[in-house]
Amino acid sequence: MPTFENPAAAADEVQTVLRGLAHATRSIDDPRDIYSVLGSLTSAVASLSQSLHQIAEFHDARQRQTEWVPADSPKARSAAYRVSWDLHRAGEMVRQVGEIIANAQEAEATLAYHREFPDPPLSRSSVDHGLSL
């Protein structure tokens, strides 16, 4: 159950759920579920992108309005800049991944799945046209 208050606990929950999804998608029993899975993943990826940008913003110098700041040294400022830069880049890449997943979902919507049932086996009498007594 999401806490909405504890980012570390929420991240642990996301990791567990994504691991479960990876396990569940190893074999897909009903391909009609793919559309909704892609929709959920599109939303999840959008939230991940937002989270990455928000974490990056904490490290942006202009956003530091709290008592929690890294030590004021050139090395710490450099590390904070790198964290911010990398997370903003990752957030943008993930946003683009979300757009691609949404495109795949749109294409998935055009597919219609149906089950093919094998023809019943032919009875022996209709197959065997040999002599009978």
pLDDT at 89: 98
Amino acid in the structure at residue 40: S
pLDDT at 27: 93
Token reading at 5: 């208050």
Token reading at 44: 């999840």
Give φ, ψ of 30 to 5 degrees.
-130, 105
Domain locations in the chain as residue ranges: 30-110
Distance from C-alpha of 46 to C-alpha of 101, rounded to nearest angstrom = 11
Average pLDDT for consecutive 10-residue bins of the chain (133 residues)?
83 95 94 96 98 92 61 81 96 98 97 83 62 58
Token reading at 39: 């929709």
pLDDT at 72: 74
Distance from C-alpha of 86 to C-alpha of 63, rounded to nearest angstrom = 16
- In 3D space, the residue among 39, 11, 18 whose CA is nearest the CA of residue 98 turns out to be 39
Distance from C-alpha of 78 to C-alpha of 75, rounded to nearest angstrom = 5
Greatest pairwise CA separation for the chain in angstroms: 104
